[in-house]
Copies of this chain bind each other. A is one copy, B any other.
């Protein structure tokens, strides 16, 4: 596959965009996240979607407002990063409206978020070819000064050359082995919800990351079965699973993962501290990496962001 573009590393003084493409973030929670960004020297600009009201309780702002924010945050010069304020649902509505032709081919910048933002990370890769970061969102308790998940994210964004490997502490090996590929994936139900659209990124030649939240057993089965049946998993090199928060007893989830992912003939590691319900590590997406199930590590072939001017 062609190489993706790694955005420049962030540096103190950089202006960064904060947008709400999905659910409505609380004002106090956003303010705490903004303080965290400022604590590492970044200069956050809050876009209108963050302080708006949407047409439905689950949308932070009108589709048009969210799409305008995203278009500007991705395309307008002067923003070194795009931080998503909250997850929930809504990115896919925005993707219907975004004018990628108008965005053109701007200077790469790092997009940060997870959960519903899975769909944006896919779209940014499809349309712009950028490496992104599957990481905590601004209004989350994970995005606070001094909290390991935020400190880890800041280290990745500001000193990417120091983050050469993720190490996982509490893993189970479903299928042992070593695999090399380009990181891809995210929240399983969101990946499935992109199938058939122009922004879906198949797992071929990839190290696929999967996690999810609040999907009952049969729903998770349906999602994984769709990934199998659609060819999404064809040619995948290895699989790393994160958290399955509120998806039922973990033993049952892992039985299902064994059933749906264990026969693909590739290494599968369970239990990474990435996803919902945990102080997550941030995972660069679109980056060449090596999964080692025995060592419980994911080692990157190069920095996620490129240092220096």
Contacts and interface: CB of A to CB of B under 8 A. Distances in A.
Interface of A: 55-58, 88-89, 92-93, 95-96, 192-200, 217-219, 221-223, 225-226, 228-232, 256, 259
Nearest to A195: B196
Contact of A196 (B218, B222, B232, B259): B232
A237 to B, nearest CB: 20
Contacts of A217: 56-58
A66 B92 CA distance: 35
A70 to B, nearest CB: 15
A95 B197 contact: no
Contact of A93 (B58, B197, B225): B225
A197 B218 contact: no
B96 A221 contact: no
B197 A92 contact: no
Contact of A195 (B96, B225, B230): B230
Closest 10 CB pairs of A and B: A196-B230, A195-B196, A89-B218, A197-B229, A58-B218, A196-B196, A92-B225, A197-B230, A195-B195, A193-B226
A56 B231 CA distance: 24
Contacts of A232: 196
A226 B96 contact: no
A201 to B, nearest CB: 12
A228 B96 CA distance: 9
A280 to B, nearest CB: 22
8 contacts: A55-B259, A58-B217, A58-B221, A88-B218, A89-B218, A192-B193, A193-B226, A197-B229
Nearest to A219: B89
Contact of A226 (B197, B218, B219): B197
B229 A96 contact: yes
